[in-house]
Structure 1
Amino acid sequence: MIRQRDPYQYVLVLFVLTLFVFGGLLMPRVAGATEAEAITENISLQPSSLPEQPTDLVGAACVIRHGKKMIMVSEVISQKLSIPGGYIDNRDPASVTAQREAKEETGLDVDVVQLLQYRDRAAIFACVTKQPILVAERPDNFQRHDVASWHAQHFGSEIKKVYLMSPLVLADGEYRYSGDLEYLYQWMQATPESDVVFFTDLSAHANRLHQAELPVIQAFQAWGKALPEAARTILESLMWLMNLPGEYWFVFLLIVAVASLQGPVAMLQLVAAAVMAILLSTWLKDVLHSPRPFYLIPDLQNGEAYGYGFPSGHTLLATVIWGMLWLRFCATRSWHRAKAGLLFLVVLVLGQAMARVWYGVHFISDTLAAILIGILLLVACARLITPETIRGKSIWLGITVLTGIAAGMTQLPQHTYLFAVSLGVFLSLDALPKRTLNLSVTRHFLVATCLLLGAGGIAYGSMKLANASSVSPIILSLRAVGAFLLALWLVAGSSVLLRLLAEPEPKQ
């Protein structure tokens, strides 16, 4: 007789883990609110007309100005812009909070000059930097100048980028607190000016390895840009194609295709490998704090990226994903097929690495290290994530616990989403088909279409709900719920669809 495990053990473990994760996420540090959440009445900017400090004050923010531009931060959780600021901790004065948050989010040491305004439960201060602000001379496509901020404490975890920009160029819905838009220019005008130093090259601040790599990257990009127009167009198109396997949306489409054609078990192998690759790369980035090439030389930027650079997450993910597909479709087949597939795998992975260097978002060492780490992770996945083990709850319980602990300790939004995905997979394992299912080509296509439509609806709904809020914990929770439902739909939804559309089981 086979002894069944008590399901309540799993429920208890996951309940405790969920409390641990979301308890940490609701702490002020992760909330990362840059101002108080409620925005209401218009108050004069004259200090003499300011009311007494509210007793329920919860947040403070800094206005930092140079000319007709001001410092703004692009947030990871809300994916919108705001001025630097956050929650008041440990009963600190509001001015101390504004000073601390400016340092943590932008890396700038500031003096708080004066109180500009109370915005319900937030205090808005005029601040002046103690040293000149290092600003990239080259503006981006939106005429924003990047501020050298990769050394800031919350860079990459809460803050994507720091800009020096005009508040007048903000697009609709781009600023986190829409009610503040009419005051931003007034606040900026009432703030004393901070000094700025524009730079084109900070390579002297890099380590020796990066200093040696930067001329190689510059030469590579210069060679590509010097090609005839037709050849340059082909090169840029090739780099775009090679870069796709590291993009999350492309990996998602691959997972849907595998679920539709090979079934949910094969899909689970790919999902588990992708989760581990993303978890490892984001954790290493958060620990090592290695800058990207275009942070040091802005002219190298040909593509978008944020956070730290080592290792290359795109390259690591591509190595693991293509490697898992090679193991499934080539490695166990004929020797010639295995060799041809391995050659194709090498081309794709090296192409991915080359594309990241071409875009100026990674050093060569970032990509080579990512390939090595990806190979080691692939070997581990090949041994642990087999078609037999991936159906069991034990391995997914382990992945869920691992991602949950990572989310609670690092408090990175990416780790919260990985925990939500792992939990969604774990809770939907009972829906997996018990037998091999046979479908026609048309029905495979129908399964893929239904999966994409359902996933699109979940993603759109969670995005709309998250964009409607300005409260960081709520935004993070809504996005995590969306990731959870997406995983639930991919596993349970694909299983149900395949069973409904499968050919009848032959009678004995």
Structure 2
Amino acid sequence: MRNFLLCLWLLLTAIFSPLISAAETPSDANIKGAACLVSDSEGRVLITRDILNNSLSIPGGYIDSNTPSDAAVRETLEETGIKVLPIRELVRMDNAVLYDCRATHPIPVHENADGTAMVAAWQAEHFGREVRSVMMRKPDAFLLEHARFPDQVKLFPSLLKESSASDIQNYADFSALSTPFNQWNAQWNRKFQEVIHTLPSAVGAFLGAASELGNGALFFILVPFAMATGGLKRTAQLLLVTIGVTLVVTFIKLNLAVPRPFYLYPDLQLSQASGFSFPSGHTATAFAVWGLVFLWFKKAGYSNLAIWWVPSLLVAMSRVYLGVHYVTDVLAGAVIGTLIVALSQTSAFKARLLSPLFWLVIGVATLPLAATQVQPVFLYCAMFALSLAVALFAMRNALPDRPAPFGKRGFFVTLAGMMVIAAGMGGVAIWSNSSIEILVANSVGFILLALWLGGVAPKILSRKTH
């Protein structure tokens, strides 16, 4: 019986092994990932820029239930919006296989002065979720320096000799690929730029820098400031506003998927930006956060609307001038930011700022978005809110009924902890080329940040204060 089974196994293997090989069933346990090398006649390669670590790579990803070539084709379509055919296997490296792939239709590109080409990829499923931008680029020193997988890039010159060149279609601009409304809307960006360019160059430089007033980096200054001037309750208020703006803006951006003005007209681009356009996250953040700061100063007796309106309007004008947002984007951002800061001042929200249950509800409500939207921001917000709920629950008996400001000591202690956590997250992003590792590290970082702000720092500062 044993000999019969052995013979039967050898017979079946002889019959079906060629078919299995042709079908590329991923039975080889060493092959975990697959990627497509898509090139053009000029020796340029289709490259994506990753959202998590900002690195460059050819489109590809992990193999799940697909064959390796199917996985490579699927990932290329999801990341770039370009349909390709796998021509042949080029090379196997470590745990990945690279395929020579050819686009089934001409790749829409806009030629840049540096020899690279911008690819119109905003309709790709994972654009703005996993991918920042898509380009055609030669395997040069810049690509090697910023590559997610440098060893792959070193092989590109030799692999390109065997690859099948895809056709490209050059566009002076991509306006024809968008809607008439977006085309009309982008003309306001052009007119505003023309007006600013008639003024001294310092005006344009000032407007460009003004965008930083709505940058997420403000978090590192305003959170310690809130802890110093209003204690944990004021800090929780700022955190609520920040998370609210982030969730609302990101959800709308991903689901409306409006291309930025410079995607349509590349000559409008005066600053780096990625993802989608509507609404303006910088503007929403500015109106929400600076509105909150205005209310803090108002409570202290300094009621001057300029504290709110000046930085917020500067951010809005800056985003239009830089060609990264339409006028309608900044108007929507202003409305969203104002509404969120207004909601944060209602008695219903104020009374629950330090409630563990309140933050637990926010975290649980965000989890479905984290699971369905394929954007790490939702996961980070969920992990932060849930961890803050845990921290507040642990501190429920240690905090006074009316948490007091922690003063200068509170500012520097809070800032120091935040910087250590941020350094750890940044270090992993530099050290690792794995998206999963970076995602996990960032999630852990936001968990630690919530525990620090909601539990550890207030406990340390309470001891010092009393």
Measure how far apart 1:251 and its partner are. 2.7
Measure how far apart 1:165 and its partner are. 1.0
Q: Which moved more, 1:406-415 or 1:130-139?
A: 130-139
Matched pairs, number = 438
Q: Which of 72, 76, 81 matches 1:98?
A: 72
Partners of 2:174 and 2:374 in 1: CA distance? 30
Q: Which of 359, 363, 369 matches 2:326?
A: 363
Query: Do 2:45 and 2:137's aligned partners in 1 also have CA atoms closer than 8 Å?
Result: yes
Q: Which of 179, 183, 201 matches 2:173?
A: 201
Partner of 1:224: 196
**SS of equivalent residue, structure 2 residue 323:** coil
Q: Which of 214, 221, 246 matches 1:253?
A: 221
**SS of equivalent residue, structure 1 residue 263:** helix
Q: Which of 160, 168, 171 matches 2:140?
A: 168
**SS of equivalent residue, structure 2 residue 236:** helix
Q: What do the CA deviations read for 1:323-358 (whole angstroms, capped 9, x no partner)?
A: 22233432x677xx54x32x5423332221111111
Map 1:2-401 → 2, pairs under 5 A: 55-56=28-29, 57-66=31-40, 67-90=42-65, 92-139=66-113, 144-170=116-142, 174-227=146-199, 231-241=200-210, 243-330=211-298, 338=303, 340-341=304-305, 343-383=306-346, 386-401=349-364
Measure how far apart 1:225 and its partner are. 2.3
Partners of 1:367 and 1:329 in 2: CA distance? 25
Partners of 1:388 and 1:52 in 2: CA distance? 58
Change (3 A) 1:264 1:214: same
Change (3 A) 1:446 1:188: farther
Partners of 2:181 and 2:232 in 1: CA distance? 44
**SS of equivalent residue, structure 1 residue 136:** strand
Measure how far apart 1:445 and its partner are. 2.7
Q: What do the CA deviations read for 1:188-213 (whole angstroms, capped 9, x no partner)?
A: 23212122233232223332322222
Query: Do 1:168 and 1:185's aligned partners in 2 also have CA atoms closer than 8 Å?
Result: no
**SS of equivalent residue, structure 1 residue 126:** strand
Change (3 A) 1:333 1:253: closer
Measure how far apart 1:135 and its partner are. 1.7
Measure how far apart 1:70 and its partner are. 0.6
Q: Which moved more, 1:173-182 or 1:411-420?
A: 173-182
Measure how far apart 1:364 and its partner are. 0.7
Change (3 A) 1:52 1:96: closer
Query: Do 1:105 and 1:153's aligned partners in 2 also have CA atoms closer than 8 Å?
Result: yes
Map 1:395-474 → 2, pairs under 5 A: 395-429=358-392, 430-431=394-395, 433-434=399-400, 444-474=407-437
Partners of 2:377 and 2:282 in 1: CA distance? 14
Change (3 A) 1:333 1:175: closer
Partners of 1:59 and 1:487 in 2: CA distance? 34
Partners of 1:266 and 1:355 in 2: CA distance? 29
Query: Do 2:116 and 2:136's aligned partners in 1 also have CA atoms closer than 8 Å?
Result: yes
Query: Do 1:270 and 1:321's aligned partners in 2 also have CA atoms closer than 8 Å?
Result: yes
Partners of 2:85 and 2:61 in 1: CA distance? 16
**SS of equivalent residue, structure 2 residue 345:** helix
Measure how far apart 1:434 and its partner are. 1.1
Q: Which moved more, 1:354-363 or 1:112-121?
A: 112-121
Q: Which moved more, 1:321-330 or 1:281-290?
A: 321-330
Query: Do 2:360 and 2:389's aligned partners in 1 also have CA atoms closer than 8 Å?
Result: yes
Change (3 A) 1:265 1:139: farther
Q: Which of 452, 457, 462 matches 1:489?
A: 452
**SS of equivalent residue, structure 1 residue 116:** strand
Q: Which moved more, 1:412-421 or 1:172-181?
A: 172-181
Partners of 2:347 and 2:170 in 1: CA distance? 51
Measure how far apart 1:149 and its partner are. 0.4
Measure how far apart 1:376 and its partner are. 2.7
Measure how far apart 1:386 and its partner are. 4.4
Change (3 A) 1:322 1:407: same
Partners of 2:327 and 2:359 in 1: CA distance? 34
Measure how far apart 1:223 and its partner are. 2.2
**SS of equivalent residue, structure 1 residue 282:** helix
Partners of 2:336 and 2:264 in 1: CA distance? 25
Provide the identity percentage: 29
Q: Give 1:247's aligned amino acid.
A: N
Q: What do the CA deviations read for 1:345-388 (whole angstroms, capped 9, x no partner)?
A: 23332221111111111111111112222233233222266443
Query: Do 1:135 and 1:147's aligned partners in 2 also have CA atoms closer than 8 Å?
Result: yes
What is the TM-score normalised by the length of structure 2? 0.87
Partners of 1:207 and 1:325 in 2: CA distance? 38
Change (3 A) 1:171 1:163: closer
Measure how far apart 1:120 and its partner are. 3.7
Q: Which moved more, 1:286-295 or 1:399-408?
A: 399-408
Query: Do 1:259 and 1:267's aligned partners in 2 also have CA atoms closer than 8 Å?
Result: yes
Partners of 2:438 and 2:176 in 1: CA distance? 39
What is the TM-score normalised by the length of structure 1? 0.80
Query: Do 1:111 and 1:129's aligned partners in 2 also have CA atoms closer than 8 Å?
Result: yes
Partners of 1:98 and 1:153 in 2: CA distance? 15
Q: Give 2:187's aligned amino acid.
A: P
Partners of 2:168 and 2:158 in 1: CA distance? 21
Query: Do 2:85 and 2:102's aligned partners in 1 also have CA atoms closer than 8 Å?
Result: yes
Change (3 A) 1:261 1:333: closer
Measure how far apart 1:278 and its partner are. 0.2
Partners of 1:139 and 1:351 in 2: CA distance? 31
**SS of equivalent residue, structure 1 residue 65:** coil
Query: Do 2:49 and 2:55's aligned partners in 1 also have CA atoms closer than 8 Å?
Result: yes
Change (3 A) 1:438 1:205: closer
**SS of equivalent residue, structure 2 residue 346:** helix
Q: Give 1:131's aligned amino acid.
A: H
Query: Do 1:200 and 1:299's aligned partners in 2 also have CA atoms closer than 8 Å?
Result: no
Q: Which moved more, 1:201-210 or 1:167-176?
A: 167-176
Change (3 A) 1:433 1:200: farther
Say whether 1:475 aligns with 2:444.
Answer: no
Measure how far apart 1:273 and its partner are. 0.9
